[in-house]
Structures are given as structure tokens and as C-alpha cells.
Structure 1
């Protein structure tokens, strides 16, 4: 019987550019530490605002990776 088992871990990533950049930063960092990363789900999004201007974009990601 063939199959696989995956684990999901939650991380937070932050950017001063955009949500897309925050996601890329998070996934890039996760793949430096975790093997067999298969996907990411954006669980939350948040922005910091200073004087009416967005200064930071933050995401909470659930990273899925297959166990060896």
C-alpha cells in the first residue's frame, strides 16, 4: 500500500512591500528549514498603518510538507 504522511506548521512572515512579498519571504524561509514543502495556505493577513499609510504587510501561513 503506497501513501504519504504530511505535517502542517504555522509561520508568520512580514514585508514592507506587499502581501505577495510577505508570502514569498515565508515560503522561501520555510524551504530553507523544511524538506518536501508541498504548499502553503494564507490563513491570515494584516497590515500596519502609520499616519494613514500602510507600512508593513504580514501573513500567517500554514506550510504543508511531506514527512520522509
Structure 2
């Protein structure tokens, strides 16, 4: 039986919300293995001089926990 754990992350990008999601996955993958999915819970943007300067997301990242297995 697989055990799935969920992390809630915040990420940002100067390009797009999609790029912010990619950045979240890229950074998390440095220490988290077996990433299965990402769910974008919320998104927002910073506006300066009537232009979006930063895209922000809150994401839930799910990953499978590796079993050490005892043979049972």
C-alpha cells in the first residue's frame, strides 16, 4: 500500500503562475522524491505601476513515501 504525503508550498515567478508552479516543483524535487502531483490552491500577483511584477502561488504537492520494507 502506498502512503502519500502532502506538503503545502508557496512559490513565485516574474514570468507566470505556471512558471511559479514549475519553480515550486523544481525546488521541492531537490529534497523530495517520488512527487506525484501538484494542486494549485491559490494564486495572486504583485502589481507595480499598473503591471504585474510577480506571480505567486500556494500549492499542495503530493509525494509517495518510500517504504523501508520489513518483508511482511
Alignment TM-score, normalising by the size of structure 2: 0.88
- Number of aligned residues: 66
Output the aligned Cα RMSD: 0.6
- Structure 1 segments, 4+ long, off by >4 Å, are none
The Cα of 1:32 is off from its aligned counterpart by 1.0
1 or 2, which has the higher helix percentage? 1
Which has the larger Rg? 2
Segments of structure 1 that go 5 or more residues without pairing to the other structure are: none
Equivalent in 30, 51, 58 of residue 28 of structure 2: 30
Number of the residue aligned with 1:10: 8
Deviations 1:12-37 (Å, cap 9, x if unpaired)?
11001111110110111111110111
TM-score (norm: length of structure 1): 0.93
